């Protein structure tokens, strides 16, 4: 069975939440500390897919996800680039999204960039945002959305201080057109009926450019996803599940089901 690596470092806190979901789905997953790779006890090449979970890696010193990303691209450069180039699935959730952006995997218009070509800025509200939001699926170009029809609306929680996806000001409109042309914008913040947030707070909780909540690389194997999908997989995780009579599985689990389907 294909192996999924859930990576962790000092400060991550959603690694075992993600592990529990994958175990429920029958996947062969393992939580592995970054030090195991840095010290040569394990190899990235031994795994078929990777998930960078949420949390506050290394206390979010410098910038969110920056230290972890630099470890990957400088200390594990050869293997890290190899797994990306080979198209192995890589999912970055919340802090993990910050990591894959800092590592130059997203937007990836010219492959892995030497320097970040996007940024995760401080929330426009200038405060930590912890709330439930709605997302609308805009593309099936990512392998993580094979089970999510285009136009699907899912409800998921966010919990971050630097979730504002930004492109360089000098050419943000040009880059946005390229992302849209490539179908790389996978999710946008919306209202409960699917109408775009249009930057309005709190529908767009962080002020992300063009309401972007999830974006993939051109090949579709890397997905940067800001909300916490692992906390929106079952009805009992939702804040109003008793009032609305919600039952069974919910929208967040579809990302993980898509990954497992791809690996099988």
Tokens coding 70: 């630099």
Tokens coding 33: 């500390």
Active-site positions read 94, 228, 230
Sign of CA dihedral 151, 102, 95, 1: positive
Strand stretches in 86-211, DSSP E: 90-93, 119-121, 129-137, 153-160, 164-166, 185-190
Say whether 6 sits in a helix, a strand or coil. Answer: strand
Angle between helices 15-24 and 253-263 (to 10 degrees): 60
Q: Which residues pair with 155 in a beta bridge?
A: 134
């Amino acid at each position: 069975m294909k192996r999924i690596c859930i990576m962790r470092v000092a400060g991550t806190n959603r690694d075992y939440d993600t592990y529990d979901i994958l175990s429920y789905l029958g996947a062969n997953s393992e939580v592995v500390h970054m030090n195991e790779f840095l010290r040569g006890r394990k190899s990235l090449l031994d795994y078929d897919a990777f998930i960078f979970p949420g949390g506050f890696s290394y206390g979010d010193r410098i910038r969110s996800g920056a230290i972890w990303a630099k470890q990957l691209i400088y200390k594990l450069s050869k293997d890290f680039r190899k797994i990306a180039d080979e198209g192995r699935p890589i999912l970055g959730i919340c802090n993990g999204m910050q990591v894959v952006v800092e590592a130059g995997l997203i937007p990836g218009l010219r492959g892995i960039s030497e320097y970040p070509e996007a940024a995760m800025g401080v929330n426009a509200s200038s405060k930590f945002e912890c709330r439930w939001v709605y997302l609308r699926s805009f593309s099936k170009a990512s392998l993580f959305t094979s089970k999510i029809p285009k136009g699907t609306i899912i409800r998921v929680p966010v919990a971050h201080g630097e979730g504002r996806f930004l492109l360089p000001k000098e050419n943000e409109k040009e880059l946005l057109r390229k992302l849209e042309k490539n179908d790389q914008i996978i999710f946008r913040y919306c209202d409960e009926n699917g109408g775009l947030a249009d930057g309005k707070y709190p529908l767009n909780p962080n002020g992300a450019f063009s309401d972007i909540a999830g974006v993939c690389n051109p090949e579709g194997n890397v997905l940067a996803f800001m909300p916490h999908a692992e906390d929106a997989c079952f009805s009992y995780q939702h804040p109003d599940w008793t009032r609305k009579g919600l039952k069974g599985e919910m929208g967040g689990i579809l990302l993980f089901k898509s990954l497992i389907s791809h690996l099988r």
